Amino acid sequence: MSDITVIGTGYVGLVTGACFADLGNHVTCVDINPTVIDRLRRGEMTIYEPGLDDLVERNAHAGRLAFTSSYDEGLARADFAFVAVDTPPGTEGEADLASVRRAAESIAHSMRGPLIVVNKSTVPIGTGDLVAGIIQRTNGSVPFGVASNPEFLREGSAVNDFLHPDRIVIGASDPAVAEKVRGLYATLDCPILITDLNTAELIKYASNAFLATRISFINEIAAICAAYGVDVKTVSRGMGLDKRIGVSTLEAGLGYGGSCFPKDIQALEHMAAIQGLHPELLRAVMEINRDQRRLVVQRLRDIFGSLDGRHIAVLGLSFKPNTDDVREAPALAVIRLLQAEGARVRAYDPVAVPAAQRLVSNVEFADSAYAAAAGCDALVVATEWNEFRQLDLGRLRESLRCPVVIDGRNIYDPTDMARLGFIYRGIGRGYDPIDQALIQSTTLAAL
């Protein structure tokens, strides 16, 4: 058993701390926000992540998981200090390392014995050396090592991803440090790749960039599908059956969001640009992703013309299902675009309403999908929650003022929707030209 300190209690930090505790270690999570620590000590979850609440409760009760806002207390017995703090985008798209720098300085001031500092945050190439330099200058009398151990956790399945990983990457300049970090994962059955610091840091960025590229690629194909009357879901399935390609992240829709992909693609593009390179592919990935949000407005304009005064329901606010994270969520971008067109928006999400309320204004929030749809001129599916897949579509049609559904996640079958009398538009589903007569008769009847 090791004594582990985790700096930061966000999505990465809290999952990392709880999972390491569940593997039998003694873990102390440190956060400089005392309100967050007080809530966690009371057993209140500060983020929504399936399975995490039980994990935290069980390990806290067993005495393996503790929380503090004091670095001195958190590092009193530590063998390892995992840094899991935010690295938000800076003004030029670069990763802002202010929190990483502060964490390194605080660790250096508080460490009392030999310590291995592990960067868990997604950080630019060279950050491991930066952290080592800060610690050496601040407290060079205490032996320490630095490693990079990037996280590959997906929000909504982060606990499973930690305990059943595809791979573990550990970067260090000292092989002995890398082996000690490897030992923390000895009970997990997966490949472990040992590299230098810079390589480990780049593996994380390259992985996220590739996944984002797949998403933008299939959205580009979806646009071609729409132009030629082809269903992108069938194209995606046909592609995915090739073992070299696979089906993962080949779902057309409103694009990627969240706290990782948007900032990481920007940061990688910035790293390339400052070296005099020309990362056109990364820039295209970001541009395609931005364009996907505008498709909702375009589809609604095709149907209604002006959206001024129209009431639009939006289902889903989190950037993906099974999380309450609304950072860079496509839904919020869609809401702002609709409001700019003069539309009035009513929205619903199973868990993300409180988070969304802090970021968007002049939105009416409903307590169910049917309440959101009631009396609206159209409904937009922005997040593919399973709850939305299982809606009573007949009841949904009766709730809407006009039976218009813009399916931004392609969760419904176009044939079924047409049979039920919906005017249905997905992303790249291969429609015939819009039947203006049907739209006119349907919308006029609702006026």
Q: Catalytic one among 225, 260, 376, 402?
A: 260
User: Which residues lie across from 315 on neighbouring strands?
Assistant: 348, 381
- Whole-angstrom CA distances from 321 to 56, 168, 174, 325, 368 are 21, 25, 40, 9, 16
Q: Helix, strand, or coil here: 326?
A: coil
Q: Do the beta carbons of residue 394 and residue 370 sit within 8 Å?
A: no
Q: For residues 235 and 247, give the distance between their C-alpha atoms in angstroms, rounded to a whole number.
A: 11
DSSP string, 292-318: HHHHHHHHHHHHHS--TT-EEEEE--S
Q: HSE, CB side, 13 Å, CA atoms: give it for residue 114.
A: 4
Catalytic residue flag (residue 260): yes
Q: Do the beta carbons of residue 372 and residue 348 sit within 8 Å?
A: yes
Q: Chain centroid to CA 342: how far?
A: 29
Q: Which are the contacts of 313, defined by CB distance < 8 A and separation ≥ 6?
A: 345, 346, 347, 348, 366, 372, 373, 376, 378, 379, 380, 400
Q: Give the 3-state secondary structure percentages of the chain, helix then strand then coil, rounded to 5.
A: 45, 15, 40
Q: For residues 255 and 252, give the distance between their C-alpha atoms in angstroms, rounded to a whole number.
A: 7
The β-bridge relationship of strands 65-68 and 26-30 is parallel
Q: Is 306 exposed, middle or buried (0-12, 13-18, 19+ CB in 10 A)?
A: exposed
List residues with catalytic annotation: 260
